[in-house]
Amino acid sequence: MVVRPAIVLLALIAAAGCASERHPQARPSASLVIPTPSLSPTGRPRLARPGAECGQVTTVRGARATVQVVRGRTTCVEAIQVFEKYNDPDTPAEGTAGLVVIGHWTCGTRGTITTCTSKIATIRTHP
């Protein structure tokens, strides 16, 4: 006689279901309870409006600079990621202005202020 594993599994599941019907007040053990997934602590990033300060990043020279939205709207998460990438020593910059294209942002530095622009927003860092 050949017994297929799927048939045996179905029989065991059916037997377990019948057993629980005999004891309606029996509660499943804690190891059988599947926890409900929790929501992400960050949730969905909100758009930051002009004037919003998003936090600080470390510049390529090691100084701290504040990230700010100047024009348009973007998320603070994106603004900080752009400046972290810009200030990464492995990111190649061109010319004395340190021009870099990061995604849809074009960034450059003048003095101590770095500005990145896209079609819909401008962000900058300042000391």
d(CA 71, CA 55): 17
pLDDT interval class at 17 (50, 70, 90): low
Residue-level pLDDT at 7? 57
Highest mean pLDDT among 29-33, 44-48, 68-72: 68-72
Residue-level pLDDT at 6? 52
* Domain residue ranges in the chain: 47-126
Q: What is the DSSP letter of 13?
A: H
pLDDT in tens, 91-118: 999 998 999 999 999 999 999 999 999 9
Residue-level pLDDT at 28? 43
Q: What tokens does 40 get? A: 């992400």
Overall average pLDDT of the 14-39 stretch: 48
Where in 49-126 does DSSP place strands (E)? Answer: 53-58, 64-72, 74-75, 100-102, 105-110, 113-117, 121-126
- Please say if the pLDDT value at position 90 is more than 50: yes
> pTM for the whole thing?
0.64
Q: What tokens does 72 get? A: 């348009």
d(CA 122, CA 104): 11
- Please say if the pLDDT value at position 85 is more than 80: yes
- Please say if the pLDDT value at position 65 is more than 70: yes
- Please say if the pLDDT value at position 38 is more than 50: no
Residue with the bigger pLDDT between 34 and 11: it is 11
